[in-house]
Each structure stands twice: as structure tokens, then as C-alpha cells.
Amino acid sequence: IDGVVSVLDQEGADASPRAHENGVIVDAQWDTASYGAWSADAAVRTGGSSRRGVSHDYGTASFSLHERGMPFDDGWQADNALGDINAPLINLARVQPRFLLAQGPMAGVETEWRGPSVLQFVAGAGKPGIYDGIKVPIFQTLGGSTGMLGAQWAPASQWALGGEFAAARDVPLYYPPLGSFATAATERISSTTGLLTAAWQDGGSRAQINVIDGTVDGSGNSRGAWVDASHTQGAMTQSFGAFRIDPNLAWGNQLITSDAEGGYYRVDYQSRRWLADFGVDQVSSVSGTGSSTTFVNGDARYQLSRDSGLGGVVNVRRSADASAWSLEGYLDNANSYGIGRGQLDYATDPQARDATLTLQQTWNMRAGTRLSTTAAVDRIRSTAITNVEQDSTVVRLAVYGGGDLSARLALDGGVQWATAVQGQAAPSRSADVSLTWQVARTWSVLASYYENRVGSWTPLVVTSPLAPPTPAVIAAAGERGVFLTVRYQDARGAHFVPLGGVPGSGSGRLSGVVYLDANENGHYDAGESGAANVTVILDGRFSVRSDANGRFDFPAVAAGQHALTVQADNLPLPWTLTNSGRTEVEVATRDRTEVNIGALRLK
């Protein structure tokens, strides 16, 4: 149980007055002998402000209750949830390498039943919404209603068939990118969409076909179909597919990829020394309003020795309107100080040319502490901002770390700083630092400070094609806050049972961060962002939601092997998780285990 008080300030032309995000947060998990595993979280907030630019029903609280693995006769199990949850999907709808159907957040109820022959039923309904808040998360409903109903069945060991229906009534489209359709149509929409899917798998070969049909605001049916296939033989995996999807398709209150037809091919190779992948995508507009575009990407890494690896990435985009390409080269090295990485990037398109040199180091630290640093130099020439010319060199520094300063005192946080050393560019700084004091066995106090600030700068602005660019001042903007949290944490029961264990077994703490792995090196580097409000599940039974910095925590987990998975429902596009972010971890008795789970850009 957390009690939070805070002071929040904003800076800038449209800054809101000083606000206070005060409230109470409660998290709990418990296991039962006959009714499955249960997880609950709730928050109540006073003060703060709602998210701008989004029409919603203003709320001051969030709540969710999850039950997983409740057993029934004949091999059936049920998962149920109510409160601020995510819309349900059948398993076949989640296994989508190219097109994603979003499990949008909603305030409502859902149920999932699993039985013999891989039989699965899902259903859910509620009001769509968004999470808001910094330390005290609340859920803002957007009005309207949405519902899903689906089923899946395996008639044979190699086959699986499924279908799902999604409907929305009087809901706003809020999920980025909204695109021209959302602005051209009414502010709120109603939609109905159906999905049929079939999959076949035999050893290392797999294929899945998907057919979708839907309507938005009764404007006539839009249809689509896509096929994905893959084949793994030895160290090589080939995947390929084709697709055609009409314009204006929605899944609930969220637009999905539409007005597209084409195909793709990818090949991945892995050996003891080599990691390589190559892909090509061809995409055209069904309606003819967009240009045909070809994407080519390649990524290779060679393990030079036990301690060193060399790699590179190439991306090319070509269309009738414009072309763009980028190059990346890097060297990883396990040195006497830890793990280092040097990386050089160059990217160009008709509006910009950027070059970046980055040095990163994850430092060897004593047990219970961690430290990573990033230093980078960016050379930017751009006219991407309308009427603004930018020609500058920017230096960036970032530090992330934390650990136990003493038996009762711990520090955790990150700091980023950037400034122009040549030309004009907006200086920036950000920080999020927390100090924790363990007052007693069940009581602790956390003091946190965060700041995000972009300073004033003076770019050259083009006001007329006949006049030279003139300097114009862009004012500073930012926000900062101070939080004080009093935490009560305890485990109770007739015989204490750690999560996933038996009475009397040893336990340890399991915590970490779900983060956006920008350089795809598998390490949480200084300057990389955490993923907020994503659900982390322990052994498929107990769940917690990550905070604003992507951090999650299971305070008492049975010693031994465990598996963490992540629901990618609230990850920002185009980020996704491979194999649901499944991570195997070993928890030691009376120890704290840190595990970081990285999301990758969808390719």
C-alpha cells in the first residue's frame, strides 16, 4: 500500500498551473487451493489534470482484479478479470508477425475458458479508455462501449481454427496514428468487425491465413486477407507472406493497418558466431491514394571472439515520391570495466541528414548495484520542421543506475542531458531519481524527483521564398515534480506461501524494467525509455502493472526457476515483444533478482 503526495509544475506558453498528484495505490497477489491465482491493483487520486486533446469522462481512480487458472472438471480452466483491463483476443489473433490487432484498454469485464483439444472461448465488454498519471495511475474512460467474442479449436494436432467478433458503439478513435480518416469522419464512430483465422504447423513449418470483414459507421463493408508462413531448417528461418486489406477498417475503437496490399520475405540465420537477418517488403495502396513503397532491411552480427562482436544494419525505403536510407555499424566488447558498445549511425532522406556517434558502457559493479552510461554526438541537418532550418551538432549524456547504498537505503534513477555545441538546437534535460529508506520490516519511505525540460532556442525560420531565413525564438517548455511515498508492504497467511511456492519455502524479490530496446542489444542502456502500464505475468498466474518508468516488482517469489511474460497491449507503436517477452529467471532465497525485458521495433 502506497500513500503518495506530490507537487507538479509546468513551464511554457500553455503550461497548466501548479498541481498535486496525491493518492493511494494498492497492489496484492494471493494463491488459492481451488480457485486459481489472484492479482489486484487499485489507485485513487486527488489533484492532477486530465490528458489534453482527448475527450473523456474524467476519473480519479483505477482498479483491476484478475483471476487465472481456476480449475474445473474435465480439464477446463478459466481466467477472469474486471475493472481497468485489456480487451481479450484468442491465441491465434495474438500470433501475428506482420499485422497486429490491438488489445485496447477498457473499463469492463472479460473471461477466457480453456478446455480439451486446445478449445478456447473469450468474451469481454466495457468502455474504452486510457491510463493517465505519473506515480498514481488512473483510468480515463473515453465514452461509448466496446465488446469482443471469440473462440478457437484444434480439430487435429497440426491444425487450429478460430474466429473473433469485435464491436464498438459511439467511441472516439484515439490511438495513434489517427490518420486522415479519423479527422475526415465524425469525432465518434461505431464499428463491427469479424476475424476468421486458420493455422497449420508441422515441425519447423507453419502457415496461417486470416480473413477480416468490417464496417465503420455503416459506410459499407471493408474486407481484407493476409497469409503468413515460416519454415525453420537448421540455423535458418524463412518467413514470407502476402496481404490485401481495404481502407477504413477498425478493431473496436482502434484503426488497424488498412488500405494496403503487397507481400514480404524475411530470412534469419543463427550460428555460434553469426546472427543475420534480411527482409524485403513491397506495399501499395488499395485505393490508389498512396504511392507504392519498397522497404529493404538487413542486420548482421559476427562474434569476433569470446568478448567482442561486430555488427551492422542497413535500411532502405524507396517510392515514387521519395527515397531514404540509413546505415548503422557497432562494436560490442566485454572489457575489464563491464560491457561496452561503440555505434555509428547515418540516415538521410529528402528533408534531413543525421549522423550519430554513440558510446555506451554497462559497468561492473558490486552485488546489488548497477550503472550504465551513454555519451553521443549528433550531427543534424534538417528542414523536417515546417519552415525551420536546423544545422547543428548536439552532445548527449545519459546515466542510469541504482542499488543499495546501505542495508536500509537504496537509490535508483536516470538522468539525461543534451546541448548544442555548434549551430542552434533546443537544449534538454530529464531526470527521474528515487531514494528509498527502509524504516522497518514492513514500512519504507520513497522520495522521488522527475523533470523533463526543453530549453529555449533560436532556429532560422523561412518566412518567404524571396527572403533569407531569419532567427525566431522558440520558448522553453517542461515539467517537474517532487513525490513523497509512504509504503506498507507485508505478506500474511496461516502459513506464509511465496508466489509460486509451498508453505515454508524460501523466497526472494523479483523486480525489473520493461523497456524500449532502441539499439536492440538486449541491455537496458542509459537513455532508453521504460514502457508504462504494461502487464507483467509471473508463471502465467500472478500479474502486476509497470509504473511510469516501466518498473515492476514481485516482492515475495518462491526460490527457483520462474517465467515472466508481458502483455504487449499498452506498448507504443511500432514496438512489440518476441514470444510475449518470455524470460526465464532464477530467484535466490533472501535475494533480490533484477531482470529487464526489452521490446523491439516491429520490422
- Identity of the highest mean pLDDT range in 184-198, 454-468, 578-592: 578-592
Residues 374 and 448 in one domain: yes
Type and span of the H or E element at 93: helix 91-94
What is the reported pLDDT for 346? 96
Give CA–CA dist 510/595, Å, rounded: 8
pLDDT digits (tens, 9 = 90+) for 116-136: 988 999 999 999 998 888 888
In a domain, 5, yes or no: no
Domain boundary (471, 490, 509) is at 490
- Same domain? For 500 and 603 the reply is yes
pLDDT above 90 coverage of the chain, percent: 53
Let me know if 111 is exposed, middle or buried by CB neighbors in 10 A (0-12, 13-18, 19+).
Answer: middle
> Measured in whole angstroms, how far is the alpha carbon of residue 290 from the centre of its chain?
28
Half-sphere exposure of 365 (CA within 13 A, CB side): 16
- Predicted local confidence at residue 58, as pLDDT: 59
The mean per-residue pLDDT over the stretch 225-233 comes to 96
Does residue 536 fall inside a structural domain?
Answer: yes
In this structure, are 439 and 485 located in the same domain?
A: yes
pLDDT in tens, 29-75: 988 888 999 999 999 988 655 444 444 455 689 999 999 999 999 88
- Domain for residue 250, yes or no? no
Our measurement of the distance from residue 371's CA atom to the centroid of its chain's CA atoms, rounded to an integer in Å, reads 23
**Contact yes or no for 539/482 (Cβ under 8 A):** no
User: Could you tell me the three cell numbers for 292?
Assistant: 507504392
Give a yes or no: residue 481 inside a domain: yes
CATH number at 503 reads: 2.60.40.10
Q: Which residues contact 322 (CB under 8 A, 6 or more apart)?
A: 349, 350
User: Is residue 356 domain-shared with residue 486, that is, in the same domain?
Assistant: yes
Peptide bond into 155 cis (omega under 30): no
Last residue of a domain, which of 490, 510, 541?
Answer: 490
- Give the end of a domain, one of 465, 490, 515: 490
Spatial separation of the C-alpha atoms in residues 283 and 305, rounded to whole Å? 40
Higher pLDDT, 318 or 186: 318
Query: Which pLDDT band holds residue 470 (cuts at 50, 70, 90)?
Result: low
> 10 — alpha (psi -120 to 50), left (phi > 0) or beta?
beta
User: Which of 308-317, 349-358, 366-375, 516-525 has the weakest average pLDDT?
Assistant: 516-525
Grid cell 473462440 is found at 151
Residues 504 and 545 in one domain: yes
Q: Would you state the pLDDT for residue 21?
A: 87
**Least confident among 10-19, 399-408, 529-538:** 10-19
Residue 507 located in a structural domain: yes
Asked if 378 and 483 sit in the same domain, the reply is yes
Is the preceding omega at residue 71 within 30 degrees of 0, hence cis? no
Which domain range does residue 434 map to?
351-490
Q: Residues 551-582: pLDDT tens digits?
A: 999 988 888 899 999 987 778 777 888 777 78
> Chain-wide mean pLDDT for the chain?
87
Burial label, 423 (beta-carbon count in 10 A; 0-12, 13-18, 19+): middle
- In the chain, the number of structural domains is 2
413 and 512 both lie in a single domain: no
Do 592 and 516 fall into the same domain? Answer: yes
**407-411, 471-475, 491-495, 523-527, range with greatest mean pLDDT:** 407-411
Tell me if 61 is assigned to some domain: no
Average pLDDT of 376-382?
90
Mean pLDDT on 140-151 = 93
Q: Does the pLDDT at position 204 exceed 60?
A: yes
C-alpha cell recorded at residue 569: 497491449
Contact 491, 508 (CB under 8 A): no
- Pairing mode, strands 428-438 and 274-284: unpaired
Q: Sign (positive/negative) of CA torsion 494, 500, 506, 510?
A: negative
Q: How far apart are CA 507 and CA 504, in angstroms?
A: 9
Same domain (yes/no): 461, 366 = yes
Q: The C-alpha cell of 268 is what?
A: 534469419
Nearest to 265 by CA among 244, 243, 241, 286: 241
Q: How big is the CA angle at 565 (ends 562 and 568), to the nearest 5 degrees?
A: 170
Give the pLDDT band (50/70/90) at residue 185.
Answer: very low
Residues 6+ apart with CB under 8 A from 505: 497, 498, 558, 559
Q: Tell me, yes or no, whether 80 lies in a domain.
A: no
Residue 465 has pLDDT above 70, yes or no: no
Q: 464 and 401 in one domain?
A: yes
The pLDDT of residue 466 is: 56
What's the confidence (pLDDT) of residue 258?
A: 87
What's the pLDDT at 174? 56
**Rg (alpha carbons) of the chain, rounded to whole number:** 25
Q: What is the mean pLDDT of residues 342-351?
A: 92
Q: What is the pLDDT of residue 167?
A: 95
80-84 contact pairs (CB < 8 A, 24+): 80/109, 80/110, 80/111, 80/112, 81/109, 81/110, 81/111, 82/108, 82/109, 82/110, 83/107, 84/129, 84/131, 84/139
Same domain, 504 and 471: no
If asked whether residues 462 and 577 sit together in one domain, one would say no
Residue 182 covered by a domain: no
What are 67-71's contacts with CB under 8 Å, separation 24+? 67/35, 67/36, 67/37, 67/38, 68/36, 68/37, 68/38, 68/39, 68/537, 68/540, 68/541, 68/542, 68/543, 69/36, 69/37, 69/540, 69/541, 70/35, 70/36, 71/34, 71/36
3-state secondary structure at position 124 = strand
Mean predicted confidence (pLDDT) in 578-599: 86
Cα–Cα distance list, 161 to 158, 251, 297, 520 (Å): 11, 20, 33, 34
Residue 179 scores a pLDDT above 50: no
**What is the rounded distance in angstroms from the CA atom of residue 227 to the CA atom of residue 208?**
6
